[in-house]
Structure 1
Amino acid sequence: MAKRNTYNQDESLRQRFNWHDYARLGHYLKPYAGQMLLVLGSILLGNVAVILGPYLMKVAIDQAIPNRDFHQLWLLGGIFLTSLLVAFGCFRYRIWSITKIGQDLLIDMRTDLFTNIQRLPFSYFDSRPHGKILIRVVNYINTLSDLLANGLVNLISDIISVIITLIFMFAINWKLTFDSLVLIPVLILWAYVIQKKQRVAFRELSNKQSNLNAYIHESIDGIKITQGFAQEENAIQAFDDVANDNRDSYMRAVKIQYALGPGVQNVSTITTALIYFIGIQQLGVVVSTGTLIAFIGYINNFWNPIINIGNFYNSLITATAYLERIFETMDEKSTVIDAPDAFDLPPIKGDVRFNDVSFRYDQDEPMILKHVLFHAKPGQTIALVGETGAGKSTIINLLSRFYNVSEGQVTIDNVDISQITLDSLRTQMGVMQQDTFIFSGTIMDNIRYGRLDATDDEVVQAAKVARADDFIRTLPDGYQTTVQERGGSMSAGQRQLIAFARVLLADPRILILDEATAAIDTKTEALLQEGLNELLKGRTSFIVAHRLSTIQRADQILVVDDGQIVEAGTHAELMAQRGQYYELYDSQYRMLQAT
């Protein structure tokens, strides 16, 4: 089994985030360049409208009021009111547009992430809790949506505002402007000091959030086991542990994060006091009253966007921890992919060969399968039996190419399956895994998942062959009955019958049944066997079974032990050998006799 990360184990980051990776975000903004330009235009117009205010006040104080020029005063008032209306309209347009762009960006990024996850091999999902995957698709993307759209555009807006404000400030009094900028280096140094600690702190927080999400996901999946063994208190204690770790990491992270804001505020306050001090000293000499009042207004206009830029920088550092995980998942490469020269597999006849196949999950782990060698002729039924963990399911997973073989070769109709496209391989196979999964939706839709273009009559016919039709018709809405995720309202046997009908509907050339009848009672199994006998005709089938009574008619039975095929033959031949198969069959027979 592949090494698995657990809910209480922090995930190591294989590749550190590179600042150049922020350029990747431009890929998601590019389709919205036209909309962004309109937004930037409205920002520019709105900023000019807002910044006019202090200048109009200066003119009013220094000219219109002293000269008692009421006409000019009314004109200035009208311009000021108009500027407020323009600023309001631009602000409203910006908020609406940015919200829409942000949601579109969120969909694009989440779709890319989810698409890559769909292509990853089983080994990726075997090696980590599913809750840790889920949090990246949902929570981490949500955290970034505001940064990618609203935060970025506001950053540009604030930069434009700072530039325009500086232009007005230099035009009014260039000496006071330089005095206003004297503490900027102090602010830059402060931001540099805390940014590294903040990034590390939020990377740790992302790990703890991932652990918490993984435990919640796991505990919900296992709630029946928890309640069945009366382990609620232990589950609550485990939750408290991961929740407290998350809280402690959050408090450490925000303690560092919030250090930047007060620093900017203090620099802003000191700068304003400095300008008051210098301006009052020069009042009436080189600085007029209107100039000083206007300049103080512009200082506020200057430092407010600086504070916003500082907050954006804060958010950027915080988001880095989430971007690291998102890009790590996006960059995760599937080890099971089409070869560069892969071709579509023609219609399968069903000749399957395992040629000296060995398999391990990781390079540094021991072999799970060792030199597996067998030949299944077209139309034959091959049964795989053996103790739990012997390697039976691994063999059929290699046939479906859910994993790549480590050594050797698997061929279908003398074609190496590593050289054909995955779609052309899997669309000609019907696989029913040991862990039956039922999707939320109607029973009709669940069965039709095997072949989406199937008619209702074909769905019903598949259910009849699988002996699922009888119990389906007893449900309140029959085939239109809605079932919940994993089919929680149905018995394990009913779920398996529906899953079996789904496989039958696909009409595969190669049929793989991994413990397909494990949860079906003996009476239902006997009925199902009738349909199976018809279905298996002309198809190559692989059946993994612990219940040996179900595979006595198999053309070939392979006994798997410790990753090797130790016996092979028909039921009669293996019984005559009196080897492992005989012992397995005899022990099951005696158990049935005892009951």
Structure 2
Amino acid sequence: MEKQQNSMATPALLRRFWPYMARYKGILCFDLFCAALTSVCELVLPLIMRSITNMGVNDLSSLTVSYILRVGALYLVLRLIDGAANYFMANTGHVMGARIETDMRRDAFDHLQKLSDSYFANTKVGQIMGRITNDLFDVTEFAHHCPEEFFIAGLKGVISFIILAGMNVWLTLIVFAVVPVMVICCTRFNHMVRATFLKQRRHIGELNARIEDSLLGERVVKAFGGEDLEREKFEQDNGRFLDIKKETYRWMAAFNTTTRLFDGLMYLVVIVAGGLFMLYGKIEPGDLVAYMLYVTTLLSTIRRIIEFAEQFQRGMTGIERFCEIMDADVDIFDDENAKPLENVQGRITFEHVSFEYPDDHNKVLHDLSLDVRPGEKLALVGPSGGGKTTLCNLIPRFYDATSGHVCIDGRDVKTVTLESLRRAIGIVQQDVYLFSGTVYENILYGRPDATRAEVEQAAKLAGAHEFISALHSGYDTYVGERGVKLSGGQKQRISIARVFLKNPPILILDEATSALDNESEHLVGQSLARLAQGRTTLTIAHRLTTIQHADRILVLGENGIEEEGTHEELMAKHGVYHKLWTGAAALDKPMM
């Protein structure tokens, strides 16, 4: 489950949102101007009706055809202005909201690119996707309607109060006395609705993660006959989401019912108090008509605010979820004085390096020192959990050492730019990741500015050109999601071609052949041997037979480096490596 965070206060969220709105303040100001124009038509209509009614009641002879036509022409002009202003609000105003949503999504994605592996290890992908897609959809409507609706409501409220106070101050005060009570009650319900919306957003992320997990593992599900188990887990999450929505609708129903009761109360005040004032000659009949129309306009505006309250809470929830991404700490970043790493020779030095994972403080390396010469082929072996992969992850700064220094050519990796550091390092992993696209696009990822001829040459060096050419569309063959249309050996050779194209001086091979069959392992092994030529290479060995020709072999264990030397030297010692080698050979299976 994702860690639950305390809900942020609305003013704090609005302050975080304002910089995105401020980029389009010119459009916003004109949008509010148009909102004011649309309000004029509604506010003028009661005055027109008041004038006609009073003239008809008090002096019918003064109500001429010419006057009625002039008033009608005025109202027609106002309606045309209202139509033009409303078109701008509905069109350009919504586009402004969409641009703000786009800007926020871009910033969220950029921030995600900077976060370390520990963040993704503790946060479900479904949650992340929900935050940068669904949650930000609601921001478009919020960004457009929030300032617009509140501006219109405030404008109509103030102008209505001024006009009505000019007719009868006491009746106006009685009518408007209901508004603060209504606002207080609605605000309380708003908080409850907001809380349930936040629970909805968090749980839909969990539901997305559950669906993603089940669909990506569909072969395992089918292989183990786990369909019923997956349905049961999904039904639990789906039922929980239904319960949250029920809670949301209960609060929304209470919210809407309360506002309708206040609507009736305000009309009741106008009918009773207004009727009494008219009975005692304190107000004209036309004034009472204007009162009723203004109250209707005011209630219509309040209802729009109430209807918008749901969208407001959705928007605030979306902003809050966005802020949770943006507030995630960037653990790995460039030092302000970082310089590019250039002319890399490939010397790698570990100076008294210790490391523990930041989330669970699991200590993996302790006071490890190591010097890897330029061009040296270094193999790392040992039991799982001995720190082989962790040691290699410190070089490209997927994690930073807890203490000590990791250096390349004598320069601490923390003092060079991440872009230049990672450009100098090529990584081939056991779990190959191919992007959804063509074979060509996946190889080109190694160096996006490469020519097609360079891509094909990289594939030839990786031993992949022949099988790629045999595919139905050659290099333009679609590989499917995560390369599902290719075999393990084919995917691995494409990943090797990607590194050939990158042409880095330092190479890390993380159990690159352990998941392959013997034939594929042989072909991939040949490709890796060509790739390693002339490069400083660190190989994490899963099968000991793949590293017996390494320049140096390190045996890592709980106490750090337990043995080191060539294959022959380590076998002659009859120590840990000898036991691992003879044990793996006797069992005729890879050493774990």
Q: What corresponds to 1:561 in structure 2? A: 557
Distance (Å, rounded) in 2 between the aligned partners of 1:46 and 1:159? 13
Q: What corresponds to 2:480 in structure 1? A: 484
8 Å CA contact 2:274, 2:288 repeated in 1 = yes
Q: What corresponds to 2:396 in structure 1? A: 400
Find the partner of 1:248 among 243, 247, 258: 243
Distance (Å, rounded) in 1 between the aligned partners of 2:379 and 2:3? 40
1:47 matched to 2:39? yes
Q: What corresponds to 2:289 in structure 1? A: 293
Q: What corresponds to 2:68 in structure 1? A: 73
Distance 1:134 1:374, change over 3 A: same
8 Å CA contact 2:46, 2:294 repeated in 1 = yes
Q: Secondary structure at the match of 1:546?
A: coil
Distance (Å, rounded) in 1 between the aligned partners of 2:223 and 2:544? 30
Offset, 1:388: 2.8
Aligned identity (percent) is 31
Offset, 1:18: 6.3
Q: What corresponds to 1:20 in structure 2? A: 12
The aligned runs of 1:458-537 (5 Å cut-off) are: 458-537=454-533
Higher mean alpha-carbon deviation, 196-205 vs 170-179, is at: 196-205
Distance (Å, rounded) in 2 between the aligned partners of 1:449 and 1:386? 32
The aligned runs of 1:529-548 (5 Å cut-off) are: 529-548=525-544
1:187 matched to 2:182? yes
8 Å CA contact 1:60, 1:76 repeated in 2 = no
Q: Secondary structure at the match of 1:259?
A: helix
Offset, 1:363: 6.8
Offset, 1:347: 1.6
Higher mean alpha-carbon deviation, 559-568 vs 395-404, is at: 559-568
8 Å CA contact 1:208, 1:246 repeated in 2 = yes
Q: Deviations over 1:472-495 (max 9, x none)?
A: 111111001122220111112211
Q: What corresponds to 2:254 in structure 1? A: 259
Q: Deviations over 1:290-341 (max 9, x none)?
A: 2211210110111221233344455444544443332121021211111222
Count of residue correspondences: 586
Find the partner of 1:413 among 409, 412, 426: 409
Distance (Å, rounded) in 2 between the aligned partners of 1:372 and 1:467? 37
Distance (Å, rounded) in 1 between the aligned partners of 2:239 and 2:2? 15
8 Å CA contact 1:410, 1:416 repeated in 2 = yes
Q: What corresponds to 2:232 in structure 1? A: 237
In the alignment, structure 1 segments of 5+ residues that lack a partner are 1-8
Q: Deviations over 1:319-372 (max 9, x none)?
A: 444433321210212111112222222221111111222211127623122232
1:225 matched to 2:220? yes
Letter in 2 for 1:123: S
Distance 1:318 1:473, change over 3 A: closer
Distance (Å, rounded) in 2 between the aligned partners of 1:200 and 1:60? 49
Distance 1:593 1:270, change over 3 A: closer
Find the partner of 1:38 among 4, 8, 30: 30
8 Å CA contact 1:48, 1:164 repeated in 2 = no
The aligned runs of 1:442-453 (5 Å cut-off) are: 442-453=438-449
Offset, 1:583: 2.3
Higher mean alpha-carbon deviation, 419-428 vs 303-312, is at: 303-312
Q: What corresponds to 2:143 in structure 1? A: 148
8 Å CA contact 1:162, 1:301 repeated in 2 = no
8 Å CA contact 1:162, 1:306 repeated in 2 = no
Distance (Å, rounded) in 1 between the aligned partners of 2:556 and 2:25? 60
Q: Secondary structure at the match of 1:476?
A: coil
In the alignment, structure 2 segments of 5+ residues that lack a partner are none
Distance (Å, rounded) in 1 between the aligned partners of 2:196 and 2:589? 63
Letter in 2 for 1:176: L
1:202 matched to 2:194? no
State TM-score, norm by structure 2.
Answer: 0.94
Q: What corresponds to 1:6 in structure 2? A: none
Q: What corresponds to 2:300 in structure 1? A: 304
Q: Deviations over 1:88-109 (max 9, x none)?
A: 2222221111210111011001
Letter in 2 for 1:440: S
8 Å CA contact 1:465, 1:528 repeated in 2 = no
Distance 1:459 1:252, change over 3 A: same
Offset, 1:25: 1.1
Distance 1:116 1:532, change over 3 A: same
Letter in 1 for 2:16: R
Q: Deviations over 1:451-508 (max 9, x none)?
A: 0111111111111111111111111110011222201111122111111110111000
1:341 matched to 2:333? no
State TM-score, norm by structure 1.
Answer: 0.93
8 Å CA contact 1:353, 1:412 repeated in 2 = yes
